[in-house]
A and B are shown apart, each in its own frame.
Chain A
């Protein structure tokens, strides 16, 4: 048994025979040519063929792995277009063959990218440039590369995999990728994540593993070659459990979240940035129940502009393609501090200047965000939600500012939709006056983390208070029930977006009380869907 350690880009276990990727070695010789024009013409002919091939790969990738993966071939086509000057120059100046000129151009460009030390993304593009150069060189010589066809499912080991190689593989037969080079930014790693199979890079595997039994452990980043029986048994069990989980989730994906008696619940996802959207779609959320807009402010050194915010909200609205997206307006203060807001130090920040209180005090900051949100509303199905509400006037004032923004946009002929407005119920005060608040808004979303903290007067970070803390405290549960009932008396839908929303012990209770929506981290969605589908 031998173990090789590498960097993992997808968690999971794969067990199977190892196959070493066969590569057509392209050896380029430098030869002298007299007729440089003929040589340049030969290059252009090969280039044309290469462009056609890249076009075909693009279409194949589009069909098999989707647009995001296919884009790399558009980039390849543009790389190749850029080769002309350098290749022609080398042929003309040095009286050399086209193969040598293309190889040199490819190497020089790769070296330029390799030198970008602080930019791993650009460094990873070396593989792409070399892939393009190799293709043109191949097209100038006779015969193609050796085909990699497999008769059984394999763990594929290679030095590195070029995008064109991965796209040509029979992907149904690949259990995992292991490369000696490459990075977690490389195309192979991205593809592996899309395919949900384990992949390791920078793994120093020896050259003698072809045909041996192997295990890829994506959790620990290990390739185990010739495992002993105990190891094999351990991983077989793990792989089976994982397959069972995957099967279950696949079965639940695309299914409605509905009880046996036919009550439908909206299962939404909580996200903190655009990067989370992949997980939202992967886990089949019916919408986004809490989009924390703070990330735009936290990642910035100055107030994000209307344009920057508009771009982000529009992207989310478009990617969710008409599904509901609830955006919570700025919720900073307390534990989330941003320097450029220049907020005073407070003795008691949880009870201090935060969230809607900042927005109603610094109206210009609030208005910028609202303008961006209303502009983005034209591109999808956006809802706006205000955090930390304790009084009726706060909601009235926030809504009045929304009206001002809408009037401005109308006057400027900028399109927007009449966005549903909701509030977070996260203070005991809001629960007590839920009937009055419900008359003003389209929906409530209960933020159970803050609601619990404010109701029990317990700081959850304080470890001395652990024995006094009860996540299922009857006071909090009663508040949730009261909020649902109050909302429904006024035709206001009610959801939960705090941690309790994903608590499997409470799901049935919430559904019985009549909850309309539960919003949670993407990975909790399918397990909760299963609970609801098993309810009467």
Chain B
């Protein structure tokens, strides 16, 4: 199991399309990937729950990855977060 932390820097927070890009990136991997904002934890492969997290600038997100390809998935997710949030 792997965990990574990311602080949202995009002033717009989580909009639909970047949430979709993030979900699409997570879907590429077999590992279970969840993301938490401290209160709720949701499946990162689904856009609607992701949007439901109502992430805004300054929020700390914890991503938990568990599975055979968790290392590669962690890199891809970190990249998608950095580019979109």
| Residues of chain A having any CB pair with chain B under 8 Å | 71-72, 74-75, 78-79, 81-82, 109, 112-113, 116, 118-119, 121-122, 125, 128-129, 299, 305, 308
By Cβ-Cβ distance, the 8 closest A-B pairs, closest first, are: A78-B20, A75-B16, A78-B47, A82-B48, A82-B46, A116-B54, A112-B52, A71-B17
By secondary structure, the B interface counts as: helix
Q: Is the CB of A119 within 8 A of B54?
A: yes
Contact partners of A113 in chain B: CB under 8 A: 51-52
Would you mind naming 24 contact pairs between A and B with Cβ atoms under 8 Å apart? A72-B16, A74-B17, A75-B17, A78-B23, A78-B24, A78-B47, A79-B47, A79-B48, A82-B46, A82-B48, A82-B49, A112-B48, A113-B52, A118-B54, A119-B13, A119-B54, A121-B12, A122-B51, A122-B54, A125-B16, A128-B16, A129-B48, A299-B11, A308-B9
| Minimal Cβ-Cβ distance residue in B for A124 | B16
Contacts of B12 in A (CB 8 A): 121
Q: Across the interface, which residues of B come within 8 angstroms of A122, CB to CB?
A: 51, 54
How far is the CB of A297 from the nearest CB of chain B, in Å? 13
| B contact residues around A72 at 8 Å (CB) | 16
**A112: which B residues are within 8 A, CB to CB?**
48, 52
By a CB distance below 8 angstroms, the chain A residues around B16 are 72, 75, 125, 128
Most buried by B among A78, A79, A122, A305: A78
Task: Write out the residue numbers on chain B whose beta carbons fall within 8 Å of the beta carbon of A75.
Answer: 16-17, 20, 47
Which residues on the B side are within 8 Å of A81 (C-beta)?
47
Overall SS of chain A's interface: helix
Which B residues contact A (CB, under 8 angstroms)? 9, 11-13, 15-17, 20, 23-24, 46-49, 51-52, 54, 56
Say how far A41's CB is from chain B's closest CB, in angstroms: 22
> Closest chain B residue to A299 by CB distance?
B11
Give A228 Cβ to nearest chain B Cβ, in Å. 45
With a cutoff of 8 Å between Cβ atoms, the chain A residues found around residue B17 in the complex are 71, 74-75
| B residues near A125, Cβ cutoff 8 Å | 16, 51
The answer for the CA separation of A110 and B46 in the assembled complex, in Å, is 15
CB proximity of B27 to chain A, nearest CB, Å = 9
Q: How far is the CA of A407 from the CA of B13 in the complex (A)?
A: 36
Cβ A82 vs Cβ B54 within 8 A: no
- Which residues of B sit under 8 angstroms from A299, Cβ to Cβ? 11
Residue numbers in A under 8 Å from B47 (CB-CB):
75, 78-79, 81-82
Q: Which residue of B lies closest to A300 (CB)?
A: B11
- Set A79, A118, A121: member contacting B15, Cβ < 8 A: A121
In the complex, what's the smallest C-beta–C-beta distance from A395 to chain B, in angstroms?
33
Q: Quote the shortest CB–CB distance from A124 to chain B (angstroms).
A: 10
Which residue of B15, B48, B52, B54 has the most chain A CB atoms within 10 A of its CB atom? B48
Q: Which residues of A contact B49 (CB under 8 A)?
A: 82
